[in-house]
């Protein structure tokens, strides 16, 4: 059974600081996703990581994937208030009958304050 664990679950950051959110998963997969959710809103896709060593960056966010360690990281650089949200990682089920199913982590609630 695929399990996905994120840490930390709560993150309070000062503006301008850097921090990393970690996502560990339990079984083989080559597809890892990061989503953002604002309070009361739906989920927005941030990154799709498809191979070992993949790195993607968008603004102050950078995501990476290590399939050997079954670990993905979401690094936040010089945080700003607009980044306050809940961040989820999600792992794709392997195999021909996966049909796009994803297993999500618990989510990390990020608050950026002055």
Q: Provide the 10 A C-beta neighbour count for residue 40.
A: 5
Say how many residues make up the chain.
Answer: 114
Q: Is 100 in the site for other proteins (CB under 8 A)?
A: yes
* Among positions 13, 21, 65, 92, the unique one binding other proteins when judged by CB under 8 A: 92
**Cα separation of 1 and 4, whole Å?**
10
- Of residues 66 and 77, the one with the C-beta less far from other proteins: 66
**Cα separation of 48 and 2, whole Å?**
18
Q: Is 69 in the site for other proteins (CB under 8 A)?
A: no
CB 25 within 8 A of CB 65: no
- Of residues 77 and 103, the one with the C-beta less far from other proteins: 103
- Contact residues toward other proteins (CB under 8 A) are 4, 9, 31, 33, 41-43, 45, 48, 50, 88, 90, 92, 99-107
């Amino acid at each position: 059974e695929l399990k996905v664990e994120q840490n930390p679950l709560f993150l309070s950051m000062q503006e301008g600081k850097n921090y990393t959110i970690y996502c560990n998963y339990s079984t083989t997969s080559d597809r890892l996703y990061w989503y953002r959710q604002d309070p009361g809103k739906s989920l927005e896709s941030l990154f799709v990581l498809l191979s070992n060593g993949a790195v993607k960056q968008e603004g102050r966010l950078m995501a990476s994937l290590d399939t050997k360690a079954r670990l993905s990281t979401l690094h936040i650089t010089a945080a700003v208030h607009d980044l306050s949200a809940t961040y989820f990682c999600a792992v794709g089920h392997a195999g021909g009958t996966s049909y796009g199913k994803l297993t999500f982590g618990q989510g990390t609630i990020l608050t950026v304050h002055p």
